Each structure stands twice: as C-alpha cells, then as structure tokens.
Amino acid sequence: MTTDFSEKKAVELDRQDPLSKYKSEFYINEDTIYMNGNSLGLLSKRAEQALYTSLEDWKNQGIDGWMNGEEPWFYFSEKLGRKTAPLIGAKPEEVIVTGSITVNIHQLVSTFYKPTNKKTKILADAITFPSDIYALKSQLKRNGFEPAEHLIQVESEDGQTLNEDSIIEAMTDDVALILLPSVLYRSGQVLDMKRLTEEARKRGIIIGFDLAHSIGALPHDLHAWGVDFAMWCNYKYMNNGPGGVGGLYVHERHFGTEPGLAGWFGSDKDKQFDMAHTFTPAPDAGAYQIGTPHVLSTAPLLGSLEMFLEVGIDLVREKSLSLTDYFITLADQKLEGLGFTLENPREPHRRGGHICLRHEEAASICKALKAKGIVPDFRSPDAIRLAPVAFYTSYHDVWQTVETLASIIKNKDHKTYSNKRNVIA
C-alpha cells in the first residue's frame, strides 16, 4: 500500500479518507484507540437517539407505543429487516431482525435439518465459534443422533484457516445440512460462500452461514448465490449495543416452510391477535420470529443502519480493506523479529475486517496495550485480534497501534502482567 511508514503519512491518509467524518459520530473515550469492534462495536450518537425515541414512545404512549409510537414496535423487526437486506444482498422480505445468534441457529437448523434414512449428518468445521457447535450437537441429539457419529467437522490444515476443497470433499451423500462461518473468528479468513453454496446445491444439501464476523464489514449476495439461510449478531460491526438483537435470512424459495420453533411473533400480522391456537405463519422471513421483540435492545440498530445506508457497504468494505492492508504493511516493517505471526490471509478477497496476530505472550501483551489506551481482543491461547472499523478507526489509530505493539515488546512492558486471560478475554 505504501513505502512511507511515517506518522505524517498516516495523517495524510486520514485527510484523504471520505469516511473520516463519521468518527465524530461515535463515543470514543479520550486518549483511547478502540480496536475491539469485532467483539462489540461502539455507541454512535444516532444509535443513542434511536434508543431515546423508543424510550420516549414508552414514556408517552405506554402500550400504544406498539402501534402509535414514532417508531411503532409491532412492525419494528420487519422495518429493520428491510433496511438490513442491502448489506447482505437479500430481498427485503427475506430478512428479519430477531433473536440472538444462537437462538437463530437453533431456529433455522430445527427448521431445515430434515434427516432421512440416507441423509442424517450435519457438516461444520473444526475451528468455528464454539456456540455454533454446541447448537448443532444439541439439534442432533434432539433428533436421536449421536454427535460423535453424525457431526462432521472439517479440520484446518494450519489451525487457522480452512481449505474450501476440503469442505467440498466432505459434502458426501449422507450430509443433510451444512453450517459454516462466513468469516473465521480467529484468522479473519473469508470463505468463498458462492462456491460452497453452488457445490452444496449440486448435491441437494441445505447450506447456511453464520455472518457474525462479516455483516457490516463486507458485502454479500446471499439471494443471488442461493444461500438457504443465515444468521448473525448485530453488536459487532453493526454497532447495536451489548447483547443487541440479531437477525436471520431465509431464501424466498423456503417461504411457507413451517418454522421448527413456532412462536406467536412468527404469526401473520393480520392474524396474530386472533388468539387462535392454530399457528398461521407470516408469509416471509417474519415467520421465524419466536417471542415478543426486545424493543430496547433493537432500537439502536435503526440509528446505526442510517450510516450504512448513507455510505453503502461497498465503500465500507473499501476502507476496511485499506485499513487492514495498511496494518499489515506496517506490521511487516515494524514488528519483524518481535515474535509476532500474522494469521490473516494476505489476499484482500480472503480477508475479513480484523487483524489476527499470534504471539506466545499474547495475553500479557493485550493487558499492556489496554494500559496504554489501546483496546484489543485476546483469544486463547495466543491470538491478539485487532479490528480497525471503517466508521471510527483512523489510519493514525492503526499507525499508533503498531508503534505501541513494537514498543511494548522492545521495552518489555508486557512482562509486568501475567500471561493468562482474564475471566472475559
């Protein structure tokens, strides 16, 4: 990207950045560089205002906020689904904002996992986020199958990345369903979702993706690719707040499929308050809602989405790649010989929104970084994840982070801290 590694160059890059103005829209503590947006995004002023709007509706309208509020709650999930759809290349009716990521895994797998005499197995990978595997194992058990036999987990050759060829080879005749991450949570590798979906469909296998580490960081084309289903959280790059409500996508060809977990908010809106004991599901992705929306954990997303719709996900991706490319360039120059190993794919199309550095003293380095005002993310046993987020991370932030990493090792600042994770890492 550049052969100029100076602070002056970083400042110049920020002056040229069309998204630099958005940094002032977020609450960032003074003298702090926030590099943990791939775990929890920061609060924006627009998200805050959207939450205040729902609070005012509750305060002033009471129960009438469901239909008469400034942002009526009864249709909130559908409205947010329509606004989210362009970020993932879906039709508006294919997306609903609801649930948590793990609840949505359970909902969608219980809906689309239809074991037969010949097809009983679920295909996943060996390095995905643990919650996905917990959910898949429990779904197998619910259907009377032992996970040890019926859950196939494709191994990683290097412990950090996956080979799509190996995944395709595992798409055998006995596989009924596939669930894979779009971006690996450690290394940031982007899987070729289009290719994997095409191969799954050739074999008559239902395929879905966990978009936790890709939504809000890179564009998707789920509908055109033919992806059957997907789910995600909204509290990382989407900046919806801690525990903020997630979302799910179902391709329109599956509309009318009865949800595996039925609940009254999955009802057709016109019939929901008939109070009949016969479930009449919504005709679209809304059918996969279960319970009453968590309005106050959903509202901030409306403000956050405004910025994505203003800018467009393509420009967000362009800056994200530029930031991670700049980080890698600086790291190659300034961190060489200091014990760090870059685990990200270097090819832009295979790299998500965060940087992953491995170091045998990663836990203590993360503690030293926090003491110096830089907020990282540690993943056991030796991974430092750093997310330069397009909306609120500057090139100067990246420059300063790399400089600080080098300084910590050279000055042995991390030796002050134990090389063990805290309760929450």
What single-letter amino acid sits at 107? Q
235 annotated binding-site participant? yes
Question: Longest Cα pair distance anywhere in the chain, in angstroms?
Answer: 70
96 sits in which H/E element: strand 95-97
Kind of pairing, strands 175-181 and 206-210?
A: parallel
52 annotated binding-site participant? no
313 annotated binding-site participant? no
Q: What is the pTM of this model?
A: 0.96
Kind of pairing, strands 383-386 and 355-358?
A: antiparallel
User: What length does the chain have?
Assistant: 425
The whole-angstrom separation of Cα 17 and Cα 322 is 10
How many C-beta atoms surround the C-beta of residue 238 within 10 A?
26
102 annotated binding-site participant? yes
How many C-beta atoms surround the C-beta of residue 117 within 10 A?
6
393 annotated binding-site participant? no
The whole-angstrom separation of Cα 62 and Cα 295 is 13
174 annotated binding-site participant? no
Cα→Cα distances 103→61, 100, 296, 325, 424, Å: 30, 5, 18, 35, 22
Residue 386 class from Cβ within 10 Å (0-12 exposed, 13-18 middle, 19+ buried)? buried
Cis peptide before 293 (omega within 30 of 0): no
292 annotated binding-site participant? yes
The whole-angstrom separation of Cα 377 and Cα 404 is 15
11 sits in which H/E element: helix 7-16
Instruction: Going residue by residue through the chain, which has 425 residues, state the pLDDT in tens, using 9 for 90 and above.
Output: 567 899 999 999 999 999 999 999 999 999 999 999 999 999 999 999 999 999 999 999 999 999 999 999 999 999 999 999 999 999 999 999 999 999 999 999 999 999 999 999 999 999 999 999 999 999 999 999 999 999 999 999 999 999 999 999 999 999 999 999 999 999 999 999 999 999 999 999 999 999 999 999 999 999 999 999 999 999 999 999 999 999 999 999 999 999 999 999 999 999 999 999 999 999 999 999 999 999 999 999 999 999 999 999 999 999 999 999 999 999 999 999 999 999 999 999 999 999 999 999 999 999 999 999 999 999 999 999 999 999 999 999 999 999 999 999 999 999 999 999 887 77
Q: For 96-117, how does the pLDDT look when each residue is reduced to its tens digit (9 = 90+)? A: 999 999 999 999 999 999 999 9
130 annotated binding-site participant? yes
Q: Which of 384, 321, 371, 393 is nearest to 10 (CA)?
A: 393
129 annotated binding-site participant? yes
132 annotated binding-site participant? yes
Task: Supply angle C-alpha 23, 353, 243, rounded to 5.
Answer: 75
The whole-angstrom separation of Cα 239 and Cα 233 is 10
417 annotated binding-site participant? no
Domains belonging to the chain, first-starting first, are: 7-31+312-416 (3.90.1150.10), 49-309 (3.40.640.10)
